[in-house]
Amino acid sequence: MSSKKITWKSIVLILSCYKTQCHLQDSEKQVLKQGSFQRLCLSDISIPSSPQAIEDLSISISLVGPKLYTFPLDELREATHNFSWNNFLGEGGFGPVYKGFVDDKLRLGLKAQPVAVKQLDLDGLQGHREWLAEIIFLGQLRHPHLVKLIGYCCEDEDRLLVYEYMARGSLENQLHRRYSAALPWSTRMKIALGAARGLAFLHEADKPVIYRDFKTSNILLDSDYIAKLSDLGLAKDGPEGEDTHVTTTCIMGTRGYAAPEYIMSGHLSTKSDVYSYGVVLLELLTGRRVVDMCRPNRERSLVEWARPLLRDQRKLYHIIDPRLEGQFPMKGALKVAALTYKCLSHHPNPRPSMSDVVKILESLQDLDDVIIGPFVYVAG
């Protein structure tokens, strides 16, 4: 892709010329040629600062998401019973999410199915750019461990996204919800592997993608506990060529998950995601939240408290989730602890790649489930 920025206006022009078989300028021919075979990156597009400045947005999005459906706001109101509180699933930095149902008679090729409808909160932490980034990334990238984006709505000030419905919600809710059964060890490892595969896919795309906001609330689970990554609104295109990182002056993400080099210098790379993945692994191991102000001072930051204990087998007993009641294979737990320690390295270079993480976790899936049995949990 040319290093020259492509404006929305030029994209519309290119599409228009393509449809009418007009003569294109050399730069436009290159865009059209590569756009047919290579992913269009967020960095390839000059994104306007306000939604009102976008011309023919639906036509423009058709270039990056030709398989997406366009939904009028009225259809999504009907699908969610007017965004009823009874259909409310949760809320994040983007805005509220509602469960809905789309009829197969709405669009040709669209099957009847439950959906999740995410509505942009104009006064929230994220905005139009993040809404558009989600469409650009998930509109083009398809993988079993990425949540499927079905379509979108762009009507006046309203910006909505329509996803496949994930029956078990987020890993955060499953892991930290009160008065619910603890996730078994095997289920935790299944989730860890699925999330790792999704992240490895993003990192190894023809144009790498840095997730930037990897955390338990962005890992969604279907009825079979298959993990799928969602919410790529903060994602960035990764470095190309010999560059090892991209630099950003705007530090965005979630407290406790961001890599040290990203916080300190704004240097962002795929290894920054690996650190965040290590934090999630630590949550799966311990059953604790990444930041918990209700705990003693030295235990409030999960990484600061637990990382030094990961290399000591005797101390590992004290940090593994007591709700598992000892029902986990010690050999597997030790390997996961060692992997977590590497992912949480203070420097990016020693951290493994996500493809290496996948290989390690795959080897653990076939590990004989030698349970160590109940043990007495001692607060450390």
> Tens digits of per-residue pLDDT, 56-94?
455 455 555 557 898 999 999 999 999 999 999 998 878
**Is 103 one of the catalytic residues?**
no
3-class secondary-structure state, position 170:
strand
List the CATH code of the domain at 69-164: 3.30.200.20
Flag whether pLDDT at 357 surpasses 80. yes
Judge contact between 86 and 173, C-beta under 8 A. Answer: no
Q: How far, in whole angstroms, is CA 179 from its chain's centroid?
A: 27
**Higher pLDDT pick, 27 / 245:** 245
Mean residue pLDDT of the chain comes to 81
Average pLDDT, stretch 243-259? 76
CA distance 300 to 294: 7
pLDDT at position 228, please? 98
What is the domain partition of the chain in residue ranges? Answer: 69-164, 171-365
Q: 166-188 pLDDT, tens per residue? A: 999 999 999 998 777 899 999 99
Please tell me the number of Cα atoms within 13 Å of 303 on its side-chain side: 21
Average pLDDT, stretch 98-103? 95
CA distance 105 to 169: 27
Judge contact between 237 and 43, C-beta under 8 A. Answer: yes
Q: Fold for 171-365, please state it.
A: Transferase(Phosphotransferase); domain 1 (1.10.510)
Average pLDDT, stretch 292-317? 91
Flag whether pLDDT at 16 surpasses 50. no
CB atoms within 10 A of CB 73: 14
Nearest Cα residue to 322 out of 295, 288, 296: 288
Q: Going by DSSP bridges, is the β-strand pair 6-7/45-46 parallel, antiparallel, or unpaired?
A: parallel
User: Hey, what are 64's tokens?
Assistant: 């990056």
Flag whether pLDDT at 40 surpasses 50. yes
Judge contact between 232 and 209, C-beta under 8 A. Answer: yes
Q: 127-138 pLDDT, tens per residue? A: 777 888 888 888
pLDDT at position 144, please? 96
Q: Going by DSSP bridges, is the β-strand pair 219-221/227-229 parallel, antiparallel, or unpaired?
A: antiparallel
Catalytic, out of 74, 158, 213, 312: 213
Q: Across the strands, what pairs with 101? A: 114
Q: Model-level pTM?
A: 0.82
